[in-house]
Structure 1
Amino acid sequence: MPLVPPALDPDSLVPRTDSGYPEPFRSRVLPREKRALGDPLGLTKIGVNLTTLPPGKESSMRHFHTREDEFVFIVEGEVVLVTDEGEQLLGAGMCAGFAAGVRNGHYLVNRSDRPVRYLEISNRDREDTAEYSDVDLAFSKHADGRFVFTHKDGTPY
């Protein structure tokens, strides 16, 4: 029997397989799959993605958000969490959280030989920006919701 909202089978959604990152950063994260779970359920205050990250790929560049809290929950597989404190291995059932404005860059990297699946959950803040710890990259949002990536000095890619 098919599910109807407020229930949802994530496999029924077409995954997003692109990235807004400019090169040389895009190739570090792709291919990956993100299924936006909250959007089809009408959620407007939080974003929820079910992400599949293949072996050898990174979730993002190491970053922190200025106005959005971020939470990840590992559903399947294992992934390395990298922060200012170093590296930690996260397996299924483990989680990590990142408070808005805390200048501790983070990202996940799949060093295993299997895909990892995890939930990404964050509040949606139209004024959020992100700063990147290790690369010349900055992120902001336009009023229409589009993501904009620039160099740290503001020049476009």
Structure 2
Amino acid sequence: MPKLDISKAPLKTGSVYPEPYAGDMKGRSSLRLGDLAGLTQYGVNIVVLEPGAVSSLRHWHQNEDEFAMVLDGDLVLIENDGETIMSPGDCAAWKAGVANGHRFVNMSDRPARFLVVGSKAPSEVATYSDIDMMIHIDGGKARFTYKDGTPWDGPR
């Protein structure tokens, strides 16, 4: 595989979340390095969080492993057991099926970046720890439900 030109990586902003949660992702963007390379078995992204931005809603995956490494800036990792300050070189990982909701928050006054690598299971379910919502992904199509499995139509 030739050296990748990161400047040519697709840039994704926003999120797939429905409102009102989509608006919470302001200040978050990601460079899709795995897409640039044509990878299909796992995703590789560099996520940029502007000051005050969050990486996601706090969540955990049923079928996908995740790994993250802070590249620049300081972030706060929020998990079930509390908060951890993450600095450049610090890593965290989450095994599929372990209900440890997680996300990063940039509480600093400058942008921060982290590398995230995750498996791309053909079928995936992620649970959002702090709200009554789940995402089901099948064949690249996403649908949201409440945790009881009924179709999601807004916060309860």
State if a TM-score over 0.5 links the two structures. Answer: yes
Instruction: Give the CA deviation at 1:61.
Output: 0.7
Superposition CA RMSD, Å: 1.3
Q: Which amino acid aligns with 2:94?
A: F
Q: Which amino acid aligns with 1:138?
A: M
- The partner residue of 1:125 within 112, 121, 124 is 121
* Partner residue, 1:101: 97
Once the two structures are superposed, residues 39-67 of structure 1 have per-residue CA deviations (whole angstroms, 9 ceiling, x without a partner) of 12121111001110111111111110000
Q: Which amino acid aligns with 2:73?
A: G
Instruction: Give the CA deviation at 1:14.
Output: 3.9
Structure 2 regions of 5+ residues with no counterpart? none
* Partner residue, 2:34: 38
Asked whether the equivalents of residues 6 and 41 of structure 1 are also in contact (C-alpha less than 8 Å), the reply is no
Instruction: Give the CA deviation at 1:152.
Output: 2.5
What are the equivalent positions in structure 2 for 1:14-93 lying under 5 Å apart? 14-93=10-89
- TM-score normalised by length of structure 1: 0.91
- The partner residue of 1:111 within 107, 110, 126 is 107
Instruction: Give the CA deviation at 1:79.
Output: 0.5
User: Percent of aligned positions with the same letter in both sequences?
Assistant: 41
- TM-score normalised by length of structure 2: 0.91
Could you list the runs of 4 or more consecutive aligned residues of structure 1 that deviate by over 3 angstroms after TM superposition?
A: none
Q: Which amino acid aligns with 1:60?
A: S
Q: Which amino acid aligns with 1:39?
A: D
Q: Which amino acid aligns with 2:111?
A: P
Q: Work out the number of aligned pairs and report it.
A: 152
- More strand by percentage: 2
C-alpha distance in structure 2 between counterparts of 1:88 and 1:73, whole Å: 13
Instruction: Give the CA deviation at 1:17.
Output: 1.1
